[in-house]
Structure 1
Amino acid sequence: MAKAAWVFPGQGSQSVGMGMDLADLPQTQARFAAAEAVLGWSVPEVIQDAEDKVSNTRYTQPCLYVLESLLVDLLKERGQTPDVVAGHSLGEYVALYAAGVFDFATGLSLVKQRSELMAAASDGMMAALLGFDRDDLQAQLAANPGAVLANDNNPGQVVISGTPAAVEAVMGSVKAKRAVKLNVSGAFHSPLMASAAETFAAVLAPVDFQESQVPVLSNVDPTPATEGSVLKQRLVQQMTGSVRWREISLALPSLGIDTVVEVGPGNVLTGLIKRTCKELALVNVGTLAQLESQG
Protein backbone atom coordinates (compact mmCIF):
# COMPACT_ATOMS: atom_id res chain seq x y z
CA MET A 1 0.00 0.00 0.00
CA ALA A 2 1.28 3.45 -0.97
CA LYS A 3 2.72 5.55 1.84
CA ALA A 4 2.98 9.32 1.52
CA ALA A 5 5.06 11.97 3.24
CA TRP A 6 3.72 15.51 3.28
CA VAL A 7 6.44 18.17 3.24
CA PHE A 8 6.02 21.89 3.76
CA PRO A 9 8.22 24.63 2.27
CA GLY A 10 9.56 27.61 4.18
CA GLN A 11 10.75 31.10 3.45
CA GLY A 12 11.82 31.52 -0.18
CA SER A 13 8.77 29.73 -1.61
CA GLN A 14 6.50 32.77 -1.28
CA SER A 15 5.35 34.82 -4.28
CA VAL A 16 2.99 37.72 -4.89
CA GLY A 17 -0.53 36.36 -5.39
CA MET A 18 0.22 32.85 -4.08
CA GLY A 19 -2.86 30.87 -3.16
CA MET A 20 -5.31 33.50 -4.33
CA ASP A 21 -6.88 31.02 -6.76
CA LEU A 22 -8.29 29.45 -3.57
CA ALA A 23 -9.78 32.74 -2.36
CA ASP A 24 -13.39 32.02 -3.35
CA LEU A 25 -13.61 28.83 -1.30
CA PRO A 26 -15.59 29.29 1.94
CA GLN A 27 -12.83 27.50 3.86
CA THR A 28 -10.33 30.09 2.59
CA GLN A 29 -12.50 33.03 3.64
CA ALA A 30 -12.89 31.52 7.11
CA ARG A 31 -9.15 30.85 7.38
CA PHE A 32 -8.25 34.42 6.36
CA ALA A 33 -10.68 35.81 8.94
CA ALA A 34 -9.27 33.55 11.67
CA ALA A 35 -5.74 34.60 10.71
CA GLU A 36 -6.57 38.31 10.86
CA ALA A 37 -7.93 37.84 14.39
CA VAL A 38 -4.50 36.52 15.45
CA LEU A 39 -2.25 38.73 13.31
CA GLY A 40 -4.09 42.05 13.28
CA TRP A 41 -3.52 42.39 9.52
CA SER A 42 -4.99 40.90 6.34
CA VAL A 43 -3.19 37.95 4.75
CA PRO A 44 -4.80 38.39 1.28
CA GLU A 45 -3.91 42.10 1.27
CA VAL A 46 -0.26 41.31 2.00
CA ILE A 47 -0.14 38.43 -0.51
CA GLN A 48 -1.51 40.68 -3.26
CA ASP A 49 0.60 43.73 -2.43
CA ALA A 50 2.38 44.77 -5.65
CA GLU A 51 5.46 45.93 -3.70
CA ASP A 52 6.14 42.30 -2.66
CA LYS A 53 5.32 42.90 0.99
CA VAL A 54 4.91 39.13 1.28
CA SER A 55 8.72 38.72 1.02
CA ASN A 56 9.31 40.69 4.23
CA THR A 57 10.15 38.06 6.89
CA ARG A 58 7.58 39.57 9.27
CA TYR A 59 4.84 38.74 6.75
CA THR A 60 6.33 35.82 4.79
CA GLN A 61 6.21 33.29 7.58
CA PRO A 62 2.61 33.89 8.75
CA CYS A 63 1.34 33.99 5.15
CA LEU A 64 3.00 30.68 4.30
CA TYR A 65 1.69 29.08 7.49
CA VAL A 66 -1.88 30.26 6.75
CA LEU A 67 -1.83 29.08 3.13
CA GLU A 68 -0.14 25.74 3.82
CA SER A 69 -2.37 24.91 6.81
CA LEU A 70 -5.41 25.68 4.65
CA LEU A 71 -4.13 23.27 1.99
CA VAL A 72 -3.66 20.63 4.72
CA ASP A 73 -7.31 20.95 5.72
CA LEU A 74 -8.52 20.92 2.11
CA LEU A 75 -6.52 17.75 1.38
CA LYS A 76 -7.88 16.06 4.50
CA GLU A 77 -11.43 17.00 3.47
CA ARG A 78 -10.72 15.08 0.25
CA GLY A 79 -9.76 12.00 2.24
CA GLN A 80 -5.99 12.43 1.95
CA THR A 81 -3.75 11.82 4.97
CA PRO A 82 0.03 11.67 5.41
CA ASP A 83 2.01 8.78 6.89
CA VAL A 84 4.96 11.04 7.80
CA VAL A 85 5.39 14.84 7.83
CA ALA A 86 8.34 17.22 7.66
CA GLY A 87 8.78 20.92 6.99
CA HIS A 88 11.71 23.07 5.91
CA SER A 89 12.41 25.70 8.62
CA LEU A 90 9.10 27.62 8.90
CA GLY A 91 7.42 24.65 7.22
CA GLU A 92 8.05 22.53 10.32
CA TYR A 93 5.27 24.50 12.07
CA VAL A 94 2.81 23.42 9.37
CA ALA A 95 4.06 19.84 9.67
CA LEU A 96 3.27 19.94 13.40
CA TYR A 97 -0.17 21.40 12.66
CA ALA A 98 -0.82 18.68 10.05
CA ALA A 99 0.17 16.05 12.63
CA GLY A 100 -2.27 17.43 15.22
CA VAL A 101 0.38 18.70 17.65
CA PHE A 102 -1.37 22.08 18.04
CA ASP A 103 -4.36 23.89 16.54
CA PHE A 104 -4.29 26.54 13.81
CA ALA A 105 -4.42 29.60 16.07
CA THR A 106 -1.72 28.30 18.41
CA GLY A 107 0.61 27.61 15.51
CA LEU A 108 -0.05 30.98 13.90
CA SER A 109 0.60 32.81 17.17
CA LEU A 110 3.96 31.04 17.46
CA VAL A 111 4.82 31.80 13.83
CA LYS A 112 3.89 35.47 14.29
CA GLN A 113 6.26 35.82 17.24
CA ARG A 114 8.99 33.81 15.49
CA SER A 115 8.78 35.97 12.35
CA GLU A 116 8.98 39.20 14.35
CA LEU A 117 12.04 37.98 16.28
CA MET A 118 13.77 36.84 13.09
CA ALA A 119 12.92 40.05 11.24
CA ALA A 120 14.56 42.02 14.04
CA ALA A 121 17.75 39.94 13.90
CA SER A 122 19.82 42.17 11.62
CA ASP A 123 23.27 40.70 12.34
CA GLY A 124 24.97 38.40 9.86
CA MET A 125 24.30 37.09 6.38
CA MET A 126 23.48 33.91 4.49
CA ALA A 127 24.65 32.50 1.14
CA ALA A 128 23.68 29.55 -1.04
CA LEU A 129 26.37 27.32 -2.57
CA LEU A 130 25.66 25.02 -5.52
CA GLY A 131 28.00 22.43 -7.04
CA PHE A 132 30.85 22.14 -4.52
CA ASP A 133 33.09 19.60 -2.85
CA ARG A 134 31.63 18.72 0.56
CA ASP A 135 34.99 17.96 2.18
CA ASP A 136 36.33 21.29 0.94
CA LEU A 137 33.30 23.08 2.37
CA GLN A 138 33.67 21.36 5.76
CA ALA A 139 37.34 22.33 5.87
CA GLN A 140 36.57 25.98 5.11
CA LEU A 141 33.79 26.09 7.72
CA ALA A 142 36.25 24.67 10.27
CA ALA A 143 38.74 27.39 9.32
CA ASN A 144 36.09 30.11 9.61
CA PRO A 145 34.20 29.42 12.88
CA GLY A 146 31.99 32.48 12.37
CA ALA A 147 30.14 30.59 9.62
CA VAL A 148 28.07 27.41 9.88
CA LEU A 149 26.12 25.05 7.63
CA ALA A 150 22.58 26.43 7.98
CA ASN A 151 20.66 24.36 5.40
CA ASP A 152 21.99 21.02 4.17
CA ASN A 153 19.46 20.79 1.36
CA ASN A 154 20.79 18.07 -0.91
CA PRO A 155 24.19 16.71 -2.00
CA GLY A 156 24.79 19.66 -4.33
CA GLN A 157 23.10 22.58 -2.55
CA VAL A 158 23.65 24.09 0.88
CA VAL A 159 23.19 27.42 2.63
CA ILE A 160 25.82 28.84 4.97
CA SER A 161 25.10 31.42 7.66
CA GLY A 162 27.08 33.59 10.05
CA THR A 163 29.04 36.81 10.31
CA PRO A 164 29.48 38.66 6.99
CA ALA A 165 33.29 38.33 7.19
CA ALA A 166 33.17 34.57 7.78
CA VAL A 167 30.49 33.87 5.16
CA GLU A 168 32.36 35.91 2.54
CA ALA A 169 35.61 34.13 3.45
CA VAL A 170 33.99 30.73 2.89
CA MET A 171 32.38 31.91 -0.36
CA GLY A 172 35.78 33.11 -1.57
CA SER A 173 37.58 29.89 -0.62
CA VAL A 174 35.22 27.09 -1.69
CA LYS A 175 35.20 26.17 -5.35
CA ALA A 176 31.51 26.14 -6.29
CA LYS A 177 29.54 26.39 -9.52
CA ARG A 178 27.52 29.18 -7.93
CA ALA A 179 27.68 31.13 -4.68
CA VAL A 180 24.83 33.57 -4.07
CA LYS A 181 24.22 35.90 -1.12
CA LEU A 182 20.62 35.59 0.12
CA ASN A 183 18.36 38.59 0.66
CA VAL A 184 17.49 37.91 4.30
CA SER A 185 17.61 40.12 7.39
CA GLY A 186 19.92 37.97 9.51
CA ALA A 187 22.01 34.83 9.92
CA PHE A 188 19.15 32.35 10.37
CA HIS A 189 19.93 28.83 11.67
CA SER A 190 23.22 29.95 13.21
CA PRO A 191 24.54 30.81 16.71
CA LEU A 192 23.90 34.49 15.87
CA MET A 193 20.20 33.73 16.44
CA ALA A 194 20.88 32.68 20.06
CA SER A 195 19.30 35.78 21.63
CA ALA A 196 16.14 35.46 19.50
CA ALA A 197 16.06 31.72 20.20
CA GLU A 198 16.27 32.31 23.95
CA THR A 199 13.34 34.73 23.79
CA PHE A 200 11.36 32.32 21.64
CA ALA A 201 12.05 29.40 23.98
CA ALA A 202 10.22 31.37 26.69
CA VAL A 203 7.30 31.85 24.27
CA LEU A 204 7.19 28.12 23.52
CA ALA A 205 7.51 26.95 27.13
CA PRO A 206 3.85 27.30 28.20
CA VAL A 207 2.42 25.95 24.92
CA ASP A 208 0.98 22.45 25.15
CA PHE A 209 2.26 20.11 22.42
CA GLN A 210 0.05 17.06 21.87
CA GLU A 211 1.41 13.70 20.74
CA SER A 212 1.54 13.76 16.96
CA GLN A 213 -0.81 11.56 14.97
CA VAL A 214 1.96 10.59 12.53
CA PRO A 215 5.76 10.65 12.85
CA VAL A 216 7.47 14.03 12.40
CA LEU A 217 10.99 14.40 10.99
CA SER A 218 12.41 17.57 12.54
CA ASN A 219 14.97 19.92 11.00
CA VAL A 220 17.53 19.45 13.77
CA ASP A 221 16.92 15.69 14.18
CA PRO A 222 15.58 13.76 11.18
CA THR A 223 14.66 10.67 13.20
CA PRO A 224 10.87 10.11 13.42
CA ALA A 225 9.22 11.24 16.66
CA THR A 226 5.66 11.58 17.94
CA GLU A 227 6.12 12.66 21.57
CA GLY A 228 5.01 16.26 22.12
CA SER A 229 7.81 17.15 24.53
CA VAL A 230 10.44 15.86 22.08
CA LEU A 231 8.94 17.77 19.17
CA LYS A 232 8.84 20.96 21.25
CA GLN A 233 12.50 20.61 22.29
CA ARG A 234 13.50 20.10 18.66
CA LEU A 235 11.59 23.26 17.74
CA VAL A 236 13.45 25.20 20.46
CA GLN A 237 16.74 24.13 18.83
CA GLN A 238 15.59 24.90 15.30
CA MET A 239 16.28 28.65 15.24
CA THR A 240 20.02 28.18 15.85
CA GLY A 241 20.37 24.64 14.47
CA SER A 242 21.00 23.42 10.94
CA VAL A 243 18.13 22.37 8.66
CA ARG A 244 19.14 18.76 7.87
CA TRP A 245 16.92 18.42 4.80
CA ARG A 246 19.25 16.06 2.90
CA GLU A 247 19.06 13.60 5.80
CA ILE A 248 15.27 14.00 6.03
CA SER A 249 15.02 13.14 2.32
CA LEU A 250 17.25 10.09 2.71
CA ALA A 251 15.18 8.88 5.68
CA LEU A 252 11.92 8.73 3.72
CA PRO A 253 12.51 5.53 1.72
CA SER A 254 13.70 3.74 4.87
CA LEU A 255 10.33 4.57 6.45
CA GLY A 256 8.50 2.91 3.56
CA ILE A 257 7.55 6.19 1.89
CA ASP A 258 7.10 5.98 -1.87
CA THR A 259 5.35 9.33 -2.55
CA VAL A 260 6.21 12.85 -1.40
CA VAL A 261 3.55 15.55 -1.53
CA GLU A 262 4.85 19.12 -1.27
CA VAL A 263 2.00 21.10 0.28
CA GLY A 264 2.47 24.79 -0.43
CA PRO A 265 3.48 27.22 -3.16
CA GLY A 266 6.17 26.33 -5.68
CA ASN A 267 8.25 23.18 -5.97
CA VAL A 268 11.43 23.90 -4.01
CA LEU A 269 11.29 20.81 -1.80
CA THR A 270 10.31 18.33 -4.50
CA GLY A 271 13.19 19.77 -6.54
CA LEU A 272 15.62 19.14 -3.67
CA ILE A 273 14.30 15.64 -2.96
CA LYS A 274 14.42 14.70 -6.67
CA ARG A 275 18.19 15.10 -6.59
CA THR A 276 18.56 13.09 -3.37
CA CYS A 277 16.06 10.22 -3.77
CA LYS A 278 15.30 9.60 -7.43
CA GLU A 279 13.02 6.63 -6.66
CA LEU A 280 10.33 8.68 -4.88
CA ALA A 281 7.18 9.82 -6.69
CA LEU A 282 6.76 13.58 -6.31
CA VAL A 283 3.49 15.53 -6.17
CA ASN A 284 2.89 19.27 -5.71
CA VAL A 285 -0.25 20.74 -4.15
CA GLY A 286 -0.11 24.53 -4.08
CA THR A 287 -2.86 25.64 -6.44
CA LEU A 288 -6.58 24.97 -6.82
CA ALA A 289 -5.98 22.88 -9.94
CA GLN A 290 -3.35 20.77 -8.19
CA LEU A 291 -5.63 20.33 -5.19
CA GLU A 292 -8.55 19.22 -7.34
CA SER A 293 -6.34 16.68 -9.12
CA GLN A 294 -5.97 14.94 -5.73
CA GLY A 295 -9.63 13.85 -5.76
Structure 2
Amino acid sequence: MTRIFMFPGQGAQHAGMGRELFGRFPELVREADDILGHSIRQLCLDDPDSRLGSTEYTQPAVYVVNALALRAARAEGSAPDVAIGHSLGEYNALEAAGVFGFAEGLRLVVARARAMARIAGGGMAAVLGLDDAVLRLVLRRAGLDAIQVANLNTSDQTVIAGPADGLAEAATLLLDAGARAVRRLDVSGPFHTSHMTSAAEEFAPALRSLTLAAPAFPVIANRTARPYPETGIADLLIGQIDHPVLWRKTVEALDTPDAEFLEIGAGQTLTRMLRALRSHRGDPS
Protein backbone atom coordinates (compact mmCIF):
# COMPACT_ATOMS: atom_id res chain seq x y z
CA MET A 1 0.00 0.00 0.00
CA THR A 2 1.29 3.45 -0.96
CA ARG A 3 -0.10 6.12 1.34
CA ILE A 4 -0.40 9.56 -0.25
CA PHE A 5 -1.07 12.64 1.88
CA MET A 6 -2.91 15.44 0.05
CA PHE A 7 -2.82 18.98 1.43
CA PRO A 8 -5.46 21.51 0.26
CA GLY A 9 -4.73 25.12 -0.60
CA GLN A 10 -6.49 28.47 -0.75
CA GLY A 11 -10.21 28.01 -1.31
CA ALA A 12 -10.46 25.27 1.31
CA GLN A 13 -10.73 27.83 4.14
CA HIS A 14 -13.94 27.99 6.13
CA ALA A 15 -15.07 29.36 9.45
CA GLY A 16 -14.40 26.85 12.19
CA MET A 17 -11.51 25.07 10.49
CA GLY A 18 -9.02 23.60 12.93
CA ARG A 19 -11.45 23.70 15.85
CA GLU A 20 -10.50 20.21 17.01
CA LEU A 21 -6.76 20.83 16.55
CA PHE A 22 -5.79 24.10 18.24
CA GLY A 23 -6.08 22.70 21.77
CA ARG A 24 -4.01 19.62 20.92
CA PHE A 25 -0.91 21.50 19.77
CA PRO A 26 -0.66 24.68 21.89
CA GLU A 27 3.08 25.17 21.36
CA LEU A 28 2.74 25.18 17.58
CA VAL A 29 -0.24 27.53 17.83
CA ARG A 30 1.78 29.95 20.00
CA GLU A 31 4.65 29.80 17.50
CA ALA A 32 2.24 30.63 14.68
CA ASP A 33 0.74 33.53 16.65
CA ASP A 34 4.21 34.97 17.28
CA ILE A 35 5.09 34.84 13.57
CA LEU A 36 1.75 36.16 12.33
CA GLY A 37 1.18 38.83 14.97
CA HIS A 38 -2.41 37.73 15.54
CA SER A 39 -4.33 34.81 17.01
CA ILE A 40 -4.65 32.05 14.42
CA ARG A 41 -7.29 30.37 16.54
CA GLN A 42 -9.44 33.51 16.68
CA LEU A 43 -9.06 34.09 12.94
CA CYS A 44 -10.14 30.56 12.02
CA LEU A 45 -12.91 30.13 14.58
CA ASP A 46 -14.38 33.62 14.95
CA ASP A 47 -12.93 35.79 12.15
CA PRO A 48 -14.07 38.95 13.97
CA ASP A 49 -12.70 41.31 11.31
CA SER A 50 -13.79 39.23 8.27
CA ARG A 51 -10.20 38.64 7.16
CA LEU A 52 -10.24 34.89 6.58
CA GLY A 53 -11.16 35.37 2.93
CA SER A 54 -8.27 37.76 2.24
CA THR A 55 -5.21 36.18 0.64
CA GLU A 56 -2.74 37.64 3.16
CA TYR A 57 -4.64 35.92 5.97
CA THR A 58 -6.09 32.91 4.15
CA GLN A 59 -2.85 31.33 3.02
CA PRO A 60 -1.09 31.35 6.43
CA ALA A 61 -4.30 30.13 8.11
CA VAL A 62 -4.69 27.16 5.76
CA TYR A 63 -0.98 26.33 6.10
CA VAL A 64 -1.23 26.29 9.90
CA VAL A 65 -4.39 24.16 10.00
CA ASN A 66 -2.88 21.72 7.51
CA ALA A 67 0.29 21.49 9.63
CA LEU A 68 -1.74 20.79 12.77
CA ALA A 69 -3.71 18.11 10.92
CA LEU A 70 -0.44 16.52 9.81
CA ARG A 71 0.70 16.24 13.40
CA ALA A 72 -2.66 14.80 14.41
CA ALA A 73 -2.34 12.15 11.68
CA ARG A 74 1.18 11.29 12.82
CA ALA A 75 0.03 11.03 16.43
CA GLU A 76 -2.46 8.42 15.26
CA GLY A 77 0.30 6.42 13.59
CA SER A 78 -0.26 7.53 10.00
CA ALA A 79 2.71 8.51 7.83
CA PRO A 80 2.95 9.23 4.10
CA ASP A 81 4.98 7.46 1.45
CA VAL A 82 4.31 10.37 -0.95
CA ALA A 83 2.92 13.87 -0.42
CA ILE A 84 1.15 16.28 -2.74
CA GLY A 85 -0.39 19.68 -2.16
CA HIS A 86 -2.62 21.89 -4.26
CA SER A 87 -0.99 25.29 -4.76
CA LEU A 88 -0.40 26.61 -1.21
CA GLY A 89 -0.81 23.03 0.09
CA GLU A 90 2.48 22.14 -1.57
CA TYR A 91 4.24 24.02 1.24
CA ASN A 92 2.67 21.61 3.73
CA ALA A 93 3.75 18.65 1.61
CA LEU A 94 7.33 19.94 1.61
CA GLU A 95 7.23 20.67 5.35
CA ALA A 96 6.00 17.11 5.94
CA ALA A 97 8.99 15.84 3.95
CA GLY A 98 11.46 17.89 5.99
CA VAL A 99 12.45 20.37 3.27
CA PHE A 100 11.97 23.17 5.83
CA GLY A 101 10.57 23.42 9.34
CA PHE A 102 7.12 24.61 10.39
CA ALA A 103 8.25 28.15 11.24
CA GLU A 104 10.35 28.53 8.10
CA GLY A 105 7.44 27.32 6.01
CA LEU A 106 5.01 29.72 7.66
CA ARG A 107 7.33 32.67 7.06
CA LEU A 108 7.58 31.65 3.41
CA VAL A 109 3.81 31.41 3.14
CA VAL A 110 3.41 34.87 4.70
CA ALA A 111 5.84 36.35 2.16
CA ARG A 112 4.15 34.48 -0.70
CA ALA A 113 0.69 35.63 0.37
CA ARG A 114 1.75 39.27 0.61
CA ALA A 115 3.33 39.20 -2.82
CA MET A 116 0.31 37.50 -4.39
CA ALA A 117 -2.17 39.81 -2.65
CA ARG A 118 -0.58 42.82 -4.33
CA ILE A 119 -1.84 41.63 -7.73
CA ALA A 120 -5.36 43.05 -7.74
CA GLY A 121 -8.13 43.49 -10.28
CA GLY A 122 -8.53 39.89 -11.33
CA GLY A 123 -9.88 36.54 -10.23
CA MET A 124 -10.43 32.89 -11.07
CA ALA A 125 -13.32 30.74 -12.25
CA ALA A 126 -13.90 26.99 -12.39
CA VAL A 127 -15.16 25.73 -15.75
CA LEU A 128 -17.14 22.50 -15.46
CA GLY A 129 -17.97 20.01 -18.17
CA LEU A 130 -15.72 21.28 -20.97
CA ASP A 131 -12.56 19.65 -22.28
CA ASP A 132 -9.55 21.88 -21.63
CA ALA A 133 -8.49 21.73 -25.29
CA VAL A 134 -11.90 23.07 -26.33
CA LEU A 135 -11.68 25.69 -23.61
CA ARG A 136 -8.32 26.94 -24.89
CA LEU A 137 -9.63 27.02 -28.46
CA VAL A 138 -12.66 29.11 -27.46
CA LEU A 139 -10.48 31.61 -25.60
CA ARG A 140 -7.98 31.84 -28.45
CA ARG A 141 -10.64 32.38 -31.13
CA ALA A 142 -12.22 35.14 -29.04
CA GLY A 143 -8.87 36.88 -28.62
CA LEU A 144 -9.09 36.56 -24.83
CA ASP A 145 -5.34 36.18 -24.36
CA ALA A 146 -5.53 37.67 -20.86
CA ILE A 147 -7.67 34.73 -19.68
CA GLN A 148 -5.38 31.80 -19.03
CA VAL A 149 -5.63 28.24 -17.71
CA ALA A 150 -4.57 28.23 -14.05
CA ASN A 151 -5.46 24.78 -12.66
CA LEU A 152 -5.99 21.54 -14.54
CA ASN A 153 -7.87 19.84 -11.72
CA THR A 154 -9.94 16.98 -13.14
CA SER A 155 -11.27 15.72 -16.46
CA ASP A 156 -14.38 17.80 -15.76
CA GLN A 157 -12.90 20.90 -14.11
CA THR A 158 -10.41 23.45 -15.40
CA VAL A 159 -9.79 26.73 -13.61
CA ILE A 160 -9.17 29.90 -15.62
CA ALA A 161 -7.86 33.21 -14.35
CA GLY A 162 -7.38 36.78 -15.49
CA PRO A 163 -8.96 40.25 -15.34
CA ALA A 164 -12.49 40.37 -13.97
CA ASP A 165 -14.09 41.77 -17.13
CA GLY A 166 -12.38 39.13 -19.26
CA LEU A 167 -13.63 36.37 -16.96
CA ALA A 168 -17.21 37.57 -17.40
CA GLU A 169 -16.87 37.56 -21.19
CA ALA A 170 -15.16 34.14 -21.12
CA ALA A 171 -17.95 32.68 -18.99
CA THR A 172 -20.58 33.56 -21.59
CA LEU A 173 -18.53 32.11 -24.43
CA LEU A 174 -17.66 28.90 -22.58
CA LEU A 175 -21.26 28.28 -21.59
CA ASP A 176 -22.27 28.75 -25.23
CA ALA A 177 -19.55 26.24 -26.19
CA GLY A 178 -21.06 23.58 -23.92
CA ALA A 179 -19.66 24.14 -20.45
CA ARG A 180 -22.06 22.90 -17.77
CA ALA A 181 -21.19 25.78 -15.45
CA VAL A 182 -18.64 28.53 -14.89
CA ARG A 183 -18.25 29.48 -11.23
CA ARG A 184 -16.21 32.35 -9.82
CA LEU A 185 -13.86 31.29 -7.03
CA ASP A 186 -13.41 33.06 -3.71
CA VAL A 187 -9.90 34.31 -4.41
CA SER A 188 -8.62 37.83 -4.94
CA GLY A 189 -6.29 37.46 -7.91
CA PRO A 190 -5.47 35.64 -11.17
CA PHE A 191 -3.21 33.07 -9.51
CA HIS A 192 -1.04 30.60 -11.43
CA THR A 193 -0.95 32.68 -14.61
CA SER A 194 1.53 35.09 -16.19
CA HIS A 195 -0.36 37.91 -14.45
CA MET A 196 1.46 36.79 -11.27
CA THR A 197 5.02 37.05 -12.62
CA SER A 198 5.78 40.19 -10.63
CA ALA A 199 4.59 38.41 -7.47
CA ALA A 200 6.89 35.47 -8.24
CA GLU A 201 9.81 37.88 -8.69
CA GLU A 202 9.00 39.65 -5.41
CA PHE A 203 8.78 36.34 -3.55
CA ALA A 204 11.98 34.83 -5.02
CA PRO A 205 14.49 36.40 -2.57
CA ALA A 206 12.66 34.93 0.44
CA LEU A 207 13.02 31.43 -1.01
CA ARG A 208 16.56 31.86 -2.22
CA SER A 209 17.69 33.05 1.22
CA LEU A 210 16.94 29.63 2.73
CA THR A 211 18.86 26.37 2.65
CA LEU A 212 16.27 23.80 1.59
CA ALA A 213 16.80 20.14 2.45
CA ALA A 214 16.20 17.28 0.06
CA PRO A 215 12.74 15.73 0.60
CA ALA A 216 12.75 12.70 2.90
CA PHE A 217 10.14 11.07 0.64
CA PRO A 218 8.71 11.99 -2.77
CA VAL A 219 6.77 15.24 -3.05
CA ILE A 220 5.19 15.86 -6.45
CA ALA A 221 5.56 19.39 -7.82
CA ASN A 222 2.52 21.30 -9.11
CA ARG A 223 4.74 22.86 -11.76
CA THR A 224 5.88 19.60 -13.40
CA ALA A 225 3.75 16.76 -11.97
CA ARG A 226 7.06 15.04 -11.19
CA PRO A 227 8.89 14.51 -7.89
CA TYR A 228 10.88 17.40 -6.53
CA PRO A 229 14.60 16.90 -7.14
CA GLU A 230 17.17 17.23 -4.38
CA THR A 231 18.19 20.61 -5.78
CA GLY A 232 16.26 23.32 -7.60
CA ILE A 233 13.33 23.28 -5.17
CA ALA A 234 13.26 27.09 -4.90
CA ASP A 235 13.01 27.50 -8.67
CA LEU A 236 10.00 25.19 -8.84
CA LEU A 237 8.21 26.99 -6.00
CA ILE A 238 8.84 30.38 -7.58
CA GLY A 239 7.55 29.10 -10.93
CA GLN A 240 4.49 27.62 -9.28
CA ILE A 241 3.09 31.11 -8.65
CA ASP A 242 2.80 32.10 -12.32
CA HIS A 243 2.32 28.69 -13.98
CA PRO A 244 -0.65 26.28 -13.97
CA VAL A 245 -1.19 23.64 -11.29
CA LEU A 246 -1.01 20.22 -12.99
CA TRP A 247 -3.25 18.51 -10.45
CA ARG A 248 -4.99 16.00 -12.71
CA LYS A 249 -1.70 14.75 -14.13
CA THR A 250 -0.25 14.48 -10.63
CA VAL A 251 -3.11 12.43 -9.19
CA GLU A 252 -3.55 10.16 -12.20
CA ALA A 253 0.14 9.20 -12.11
CA LEU A 254 -0.15 8.23 -8.44
CA ASP A 255 -3.55 6.52 -8.53
CA THR A 256 -2.43 2.91 -8.85
CA PRO A 257 -4.37 -0.07 -7.42
CA ASP A 258 -2.35 0.03 -4.19
CA ALA A 259 -2.68 3.80 -3.63
CA GLU A 260 -4.38 5.16 -0.52
CA PHE A 261 -5.09 8.91 -0.60
CA LEU A 262 -5.69 10.82 2.63
CA GLU A 263 -6.62 14.50 2.68
CA ILE A 264 -4.83 16.26 5.52
CA GLY A 265 -6.12 19.65 6.59
CA ALA A 266 -9.00 21.99 5.92
CA GLY A 267 -11.97 20.39 4.18
CA GLN A 268 -12.46 17.65 1.59
CA THR A 269 -11.92 19.56 -1.67
CA LEU A 270 -9.14 17.28 -2.92
CA THR A 271 -11.03 14.13 -1.96
CA ARG A 272 -13.94 15.29 -4.13
CA MET A 273 -11.54 15.92 -7.01
CA LEU A 274 -10.12 12.41 -6.59
CA ARG A 275 -13.61 10.92 -6.76
CA ALA A 276 -14.35 12.95 -9.89
CA LEU A 277 -11.20 11.68 -11.60
CA ARG A 278 -12.00 8.09 -10.70
CA SER A 279 -15.61 8.45 -11.78
CA HIS A 280 -14.53 9.75 -15.18
CA ARG A 281 -12.52 6.60 -15.82
CA GLY A 282 -15.28 4.33 -14.49
CA ASP A 283 -13.81 3.63 -11.03
CA PRO A 284 -16.55 4.27 -8.42
CA SER A 285 -14.19 4.10 -5.40
Report the TM-score, using the length of structure 2 for normalisation.
0.91
Which residue identity lines up with residue 10 of structure 1 in the other structure? Answer: G
Cα 1:23/1:163, change in 2 over 3 Å: closer
1:67 aligns with 2:65: yes
Residue 30 of structure 1 corresponds to 27
Kept in 2, the 8 Å contact 1:259–1:280? The answer is no
Per the alignment, in what secondary structure is the counterpart of residue 132 of structure 1? coil
Greater mean alpha carbon deviation, residues 5-14 or residues 51-60: 51-60
Which residue identity lines up with residue 138 of structure 2 in the other structure? Answer: Q
Q: Which residues in structure 2 correspond to 1:230-249 (within 5 Å)?
A: 230-249=232-251
Per the alignment, in what secondary structure is the counterpart of residue 261 of structure 1? strand
1:194 aligns with 2:197: yes
Cα deviation, residue 8, structure 1: 0.3
Cα deviation, residue 158, structure 1: 1.3
Structure 1: how far apart are the matches of 2:40 and 2:265? 15
Per the alignment, in what secondary structure is the counterpart of residue 255 of structure 2? helix
Kept in 2, the 8 Å contact 1:153–1:272? The answer is yes
Per the alignment, in what secondary structure is the counterpart of residue 153 of structure 1? strand
1:94 aligns with 2:95: no
Residue 160 of structure 1 corresponds to 160
Q: Which residues in structure 2 correspond to 1:76-115 (within 5 Å)?
A: 76-115=74-113
Structure 2: how far apart are the matches of 1:177 and 1:128? 11
1:131 aligns with 2:129: yes
Residue 173 of structure 2 corresponds to 173
Per the alignment, in what secondary structure is the counterpart of residue 192 of structure 1? helix
Residue 288 of structure 1 corresponds to none
Residue 275 of structure 2 corresponds to 274
Cα 1:46/1:195, change in 2 over 3 Å: same
Structure 2: how far apart are the matches of 1:127 and 1:114? 21
Q: Which 4+ runs in 1 deviate beyond 6 A?
A: 279-282
Cα deviation, residue 257, structure 1: 4.9
Structure 1: how far apart are the matches of 2:78 and 2:18? 19
Structure 1: how far apart are the matches of 2:258 and 2:9? 22
Structure 1: how far apart are the matches of 2:87 and 2:266? 15
Aligned length: 277
Root-mean-square deviation (Å) = 1.9
Per the alignment, in what secondary structure is the counterpart of residue 211 of structure 1? coil
Q: Which residues in structure 2 correspond to 1:202-281 (within 5 Å)?
A: 202-227=205-230, 229-253=231-255, 257-277=258-278
Q: Give a deviation string over 1:66-101, Cα, whole Å, max 9, x none.
A: 111122122223322111111001100000001110
Kept in 2, the 8 Å contact 1:7–1:263? The answer is yes
Kept in 2, the 8 Å contact 1:249–1:277? The answer is no
Kept in 2, the 8 Å contact 1:149–1:159? The answer is yes
Cα deviation, residue 7, structure 1: 0.6
Structure 2: how far apart are the matches of 1:198 and 1:81? 34
Cα deviation, residue 266, structure 1: 1.2
Kept in 1, the 8 Å contact 2:6–2:264? The answer is yes
